[in-house]
Amino acid sequence: MLQKIDVLNKLQKVRKKTFSADKLLENYKYLLNKVDAKRNETILKLNSKNNEAFNVFNIDKIDANAIFHISQIKRICADYRLRFLDSANFINPYPEELITKIHMVESLHNTTLCNFKIVAPYEAFKQKKADDPLLFAPMGNGYYHLIHKWGTDLHPLRKFKFWAFKNVETLGFALAILSILCTAISYPLFFNREPNFGYLLMLFMFYFKGVAGMFFIFFGSSGKNFSEYSWQSQYDKIR
């Protein structure tokens, strides 16, 4: 009578003919240690101060959608008040998928990446709060290769929230709009007659000087800078 086959028993016999259980465990531990060593090396590079070296990629294997120019990065940083800094300034823990993605890119291009940069809100560089960080590796000549995106997406109104702080022009325009609104609302309180251009202009200038003065007192005393000038600064205030 034929006996039933114990698959586990057969598998153990095959293993015994090739490698012992102890040998397989030893090999597995070696691989784990090797992976851990590579992972620790990558984290060390992410947390190290970077130099100006750029990375070499295999041009035939580059994903065109992952390439960005410094001018494009600057525009996004200015629009959404983000920072573009060395990864060493990022204090949040790195997710495992980021480390894996770095190793995948290194394997694909047969290279070792370095000099990482991160686009993220300034808060992500000073407290444990990660909103939509982007990790880049420089390619030279102002071009950067996007390695990975993680975290939560930015608030949909973030661009509107910080639009006035983009540069001097947007600030002036925002103050003018605010002064016009104040003029339109308060004109009937000061004048009973029909709107007159001279009176409107006088009231507008009164509000504009007042609003601009109060803004620069509070904004200037805080030491903040416009987004177009602070997007690569590791400091929250003008230095």
Of 45 and 197, the one with more pLDDT: 45
pLDDT at residue 223 is higher than 70 = no
Cα separation, 80 vs 166, in Å, equals: 8
First CA to last CA across the chain, in angstroms? 89
Residue extents of the structural domains in the chain? 7-46, 59-149, 162-230
What pLDDT is stored for residue 110 in this prediction?
Answer: 92
Q: What is the pTM of this model?
A: 0.70
Average pLDDT score over residue span 219-228: 73
What pLDDT is stored for residue 108 in this prediction?
Answer: 92
Q: What is the pLDDT of residues 31-52, one digit of tens each?
A: 666 666 778 788 888 887 766 6
12 — pLDDT class (breaks 50, 70, 90): low
What pLDDT is stored for residue 212 in this prediction?
Answer: 82
Amino acid (one-letter) located at 13: K
What pLDDT is stored for residue 206 in this prediction?
Answer: 84
DSSP per position, 204-227: HHHHHHHHHHHHHHHHHHHT---H
Average pLDDT score over residue span 57-86: 89
8 — pLDDT class (breaks 50, 70, 90): low
30 — pLDDT class (breaks 50, 70, 90): low
What pLDDT is stored for residue 16 in this prediction?
Answer: 63
Average pLDDT score over residue span 134-153: 86
Sign of the four-CA dihedral 158, 164, 168, 170: positive
- Alpha carbon of 72 to those of 50, 132, 219: distances in Å? 22, 17, 27
pLDDT > 90: percent of the chain? 6
pLDDT at residue 146 is higher than 80 = yes
What pLDDT is stored for residue 105 in this prediction?
Answer: 92
Average pLDDT score over residue span 56-77: 89
